[in-house]
Amino acid sequence: MYIRILYLSIEQVTIIDEFYIIGNGKIFNMKANIGLSDVNSQAVGLLLNGLLADEQVLYHKVRNYHWNVTGTNMIELHKFYEEQYNELADVIDDTAERIRKVGHFAMGRMEDYLKLASLLEGESTSERVQQWTNLLNDHETLVREIKQKISTTEGYNDPGTVDFLTSVLKVHEKWAWMIRAYLS
């Protein structure tokens, strides 16, 4: 059995081996044959792993705020954060599955996420306005970045990933709108 191994970094993607399974005397090429060139597939895999990294950073930030929120409307905010991190958990799972669909492995280590993410982990705070300001900035950053990823991915002839990214974009636009409305 040979496994495709990806070493991801911001600068490059390197494929070490192709992905084969030997069974019943037959060799099956497990490389995704979905109409993407190897170069485009690698670029989409890296782009999606970057999104996965950002989603993980944001997820953990929301969890932290959920656990540490205080004040008079703590119960309301606690539930709001829970709704948000549950939706982000779905986005994370869908992103990892999309990475697999285009023929690559999804990153799974916090160290890798923090290296590849554009969002910053940030300082922990229990101050509600600061929490919401941080989350608004992160959601708006992701909206801008996802729009760029959509534009880039359109050039790779990958409408499935474009559609997926569009659905993720809508999630972040919704949360940015809700937080902006709360802060105004």
Give the start-to-end residue ranges of the domains of the chain: 36-183
List pLDDT tens digits, range 132-181: 999 999 999 999 999 999 999 999 999 999 999 999 999 999 999 999 99
The answer to whether 157 and 102 have CB atoms below 8 angstroms apart is no
The answer to whether 51 and 146 have CB atoms below 8 angstroms apart is yes
Distance CA 92, CA 73 (A): 28
- Band (pLDDT 50/70/90 cuts) for residue 30 is low
- Band (pLDDT 50/70/90 cuts) for residue 12 is very low
Instruction: Return the SS3 of 9.
Output: coil
Question: Does the domain spanning 36-183 belong to CATH 3.40.50.1970?
Answer: no
The pLDDT value given to residue 114: 93
Give the Å distances, CA to CA, from 49 to 77, 105, 109. 30, 9, 11
- Band (pLDDT 50/70/90 cuts) for residue 19 is very low
Helix 38-68 × helix 128-154 angle, to 10°: 170
Model pTM?
0.84
- What are the residues facing 22 on neighbouring strands? 27
Distance CA 6, CA 105 (A): 7
List pLDDT tens digits, range 37-93: 888 888 999 999 999 999 999 999 999 999 998 888 899 999 999 999 999 999 999
